[in-house]
Amino acid sequence: MLVTGAAGFIGSHVVDRLLADGHLVVGVDNFDPFYARAIKERNLEGPRAHPRFRFCEGDLRDGAFLRRLFAEACPEAVIHMAARAGVRPSIEQPHEYYDLNVMGTVRLLEAMREAGVGALVFGSSSSVYGVRTDDRPFLEEDVADLPVSPYAATKRAGELLCHTYHHLHGLSCLCLRLFTVYGPRQRPDLAIHKFTRALAHGEPVSVYGDGGALRDYTYVDDTVDGVCRALELVLERSGGPVFDILNIGAGRTTSVNELVRLLVEKMGVEPGIEHLRLQPGDVPCTWADIRRARAVLGYDPQVPLERGLERFVAWFRQEDERARRS
């Protein structure tokens, strides 16, 4: 199996799961400088020690690199998790996001076509739904063509490209709209990580708006389970090539204020909270309707938010202590 974005938060967990399930895994990452390379290298420490893992550093926009990679790795399927992440930064650097996320995906799809690799799981995003005002979970059939950030637009473009290659070239592909993933190794710029770091270091917690924004926080192990179930389906191909778009979330929402309260409880500290103005590109709610993923994949998230936060806080404290000692 080939995993792109293998050194990232979700990608490294996918690699761990595939290795645990007995697969041979080739990981690819370009160590994009969006955050520190050392963090990503740390994510790969476990896989690098595994005899069934091989890592290749390279850029998906480099066609020659991809041709060599596919010729040498001969993957059965690709799990495409590589992307320049982040809604807010994409507003400042739209060209970078287009180049990395759209052109990188096109290059990858072309390399798969040329190499005859016909199975793909694509990591999309709940951000494609844009701003929703109705009080119900998001359905895959809902309008997803009104993005409010360049990042969201690149993810929707990726879905459309995947469908194009399914239609033209028989690619089996599942596009997974991932909802607010958290857990150990979470990127340092994301809310749960930032809030925990602030609480641990006695700094104020910065909350955008009044804290009433709702998010469907999904523990990374549940996300990865959805990815691996999708992989099984695209590999099956018994009825011919498949294409689908599925929500992978927890199916419940929590306000930012409630999230902060839970973290304060886990950390055992008194917080200072500063409220900042809402940011362009942010949405008031993410909320996954996961009935279709249950029906198609047997997806069934297992980790409630409180338990997931306990695991994250335990990991954070371990990493924070390690950083202090180094």
Cite the active site residues: 151
DSSP codes, 95-137: HHHIIIIIIHHHHHHHHHHHHT--EEEEEEEGGGG----SSSP
Q: Which residues contact 75 (CB under 8 A, 6 or more apart)?
A: 1, 2, 26, 117
Is residue 255 within 8 Å of residue 211, measured between CB atoms?
yes
Q: Which two structure tokens, joined as six digits, stand for 55?
A: 């890592």
Can you say whether the dihedral through the CA atoms of 125, 163, 119, 32 is positive or negative?
negative
31 CB burial (10 A radius; 0-12, 13-18, 19+): middle
**Eight-state DSSP code of residue 285:** B
Is residue 208 within 8 Å of residue 154, measured between CB atoms?
no
**Eight-state DSSP code of residue 249:** S
Q: Which amino acid is at 283?
A: V
Helix axis angle, 104-115 to 63-73, nearest 10°: 40
Radius of gyration of the chain (CA): 19
